[in-house]
Structure 1
């Protein structure tokens, strides 16, 4: 099942995507579950979705404005250096534990929205990644049970502002400018992705493949990441773990290849979807 969050005539909703339309199940479930994240918190959210579909209106996909699948996650935990080829190209030494950093919700944009190249940067880089959306709360989750806590998966472009990322040893400055991380288009429920470690993942810039890998190449698997993160902080429905990017990023190339205004960037993950965004230049408000 593919789920989305959207705006229709200025009102927020969520629904089930079916071909070129959206079944607006929030019209039935919204009083009890005002957001998609709140619906994911129920053990039987798939059954609730199915039951609501027969009583919900349909909207043409062309008539809605997609939001990020989870517009305001409580936590966005990103993983750095989780593919060996990316670790090598960035000249980082292997680490025993995952490299983690946080994104803020307002650093995200949706499928079809522009990713914003900050006005203070000239080094805006692409990073194709698999996003994991938590459905069941947990702390100290065992890796063997970790995938039971997953509601679904989506595509993520963890756009990196490289000239700010290197200001310090911490990644946060280069990862949290507004609308630099794209998330979507949909949440594909976990029952449709039996093995998240067996997916082709790629990134295209203006139609040219710049990253190509399989999620089997992750150093730390999705299950291991969930287990590790849950030892640090409780995971809650709607939290997002962004699992790292493979090799081929722009700043590691000779010469470097950065995104620029007008570019089209696409993240394509087998069975999960195609996330497409144009690049726009951020305009700063006058003082």
Structure 2
């Protein structure tokens, strides 16, 4: 299943991407004659786990058979939607630093012994096709293509062997970073938490469709120029290890997001004389195999 959110009448609606378009889930359920009580928000589907996902999938399949006209009436053209972040209200947004070998090498940083954790906040969430404001306080905004993990079950002290059982799905993400703010102190928070600096989506793809999360091609382009081109297999700490480690530091809850680090090719990895940071008008696209492409426009604040 591919879940997404879109804005309609000032509120987020939950969409299900289908071959025919994006189904407005709440509208389809409301207009259904079945009288079923179904989860109709991303939060409810995540919290309901595999059974909720299967129930929604079964409802949509039956709706297509029983009421094809009603099914079509609740479809939207994706390109006409104002798409939001695929998860709109995570309790926690945890990020992993220096988690690709070649990225650590280009940054002239030692391979970490443990995952480096930092956090972002909900103010950074952004959607596909949306504007990213380049803050007045920074002249060095950088892109970071990342795989996002969305937790589906409460996780505490989880083993590596069981870790992926706690995942609802995965998404494409861009961990935008204001490098000049980031480097002011030993703590990265200031450079990571600017408004709109965490675009995620457009889709939240359920784990059953993804398979091995550490075998996915990942790339980033700026104005069509390829800047990052790698594979999640280059992670220092794989998804199982990350989830287990974080769960030993804090309780993970359904809807929490973990951004798993970025591969080589970021602006900061270039020699100082060749660094060209993001500027007004730039278009950044992050793509991950099976998860889709996430595009955002940079605009001066």
Higher helix share: 2
Q: In structure 1, which of residues 52, 56, 61 is the aligned counterpart of residue 59 of structure 2?
A: 52
Q: Distance in 1 between matches of 2:173 and 2:78?
A: 21
DSSP-derived class of the 1:244 partner: coil
2:188 matched residue in structure 1: 171
1:270 matched residue in structure 2: 289
CA contact (8 A) 1:16 1:23 kept: yes
1:257 matched residue in structure 2: 276
CA contact (8 A) 2:169 2:204 kept: yes
Deviation string 1:10-52 (CA, Å, 9 cap, x unpaired) is 3321121114621122332898646312221113122121133
Q: Distance in 2 between matches of 1:31 and 1:257?
A: 52
Q: Distance in 1 between matches of 2:112 and 2:156?
A: 23
CA contact (8 A) 1:23 1:58 kept: yes
Q: Distance in 1 between matches of 2:99 and 2:88?
A: 25
1:285 matched residue in structure 2: none
Q: Distance in 2 between matches of 1:166 and 1:20?
A: 47
DSSP-derived class of the 1:174 partner: helix
Offset at 1:233?
A: 1.1
Offset at 1:92?
A: 1.5
1:35 aligns with 2:22: no
Q: Which runs of 5+ in 2 are unaligned?
A: 31-35, 64-70
2:209 matched residue in structure 1: 192
Q: Distance in 2 between matches of 1:101 and 1:260?
A: 25
Q: In structure 2, which of residues 83, 97, 102 is the aligned counterpart of residue 85 of structure 1?
A: 102
2:83 matched residue in structure 1: 66
Comparing 59-68 and 231-240, the one that deviates more:
59-68
Instruction: Output the TM-score relative to the length of structure 2.
Output: 0.89
1:4 matched residue in structure 2: 4
Q: Where does 1:1-287 land on structure 2 (aligned, <5 Å)?
A: 1-19=1-19, 21-27=21-27, 28=29, 33=39, 35-43=41-49, 44-53=51-60, 54-55=62-63, 57-254=74-271, 255-282=274-301
CA contact (8 A) 2:150 2:169 kept: yes
CA contact (8 A) 2:98 2:112 kept: no
DSSP-derived class of the 2:53 partner: helix
Q: Distance in 1 between matches of 2:42 and 2:294?
A: 19
Offset at 1:63?
A: 3.9
Deviation string 1:200-242 (CA, Å, 9 cap, x unpaired) is 1011011111111111000000011000011111111110000
Q: Which runs of 5+ in 1 are unaligned?
A: 283-287
Aligned residues: 282
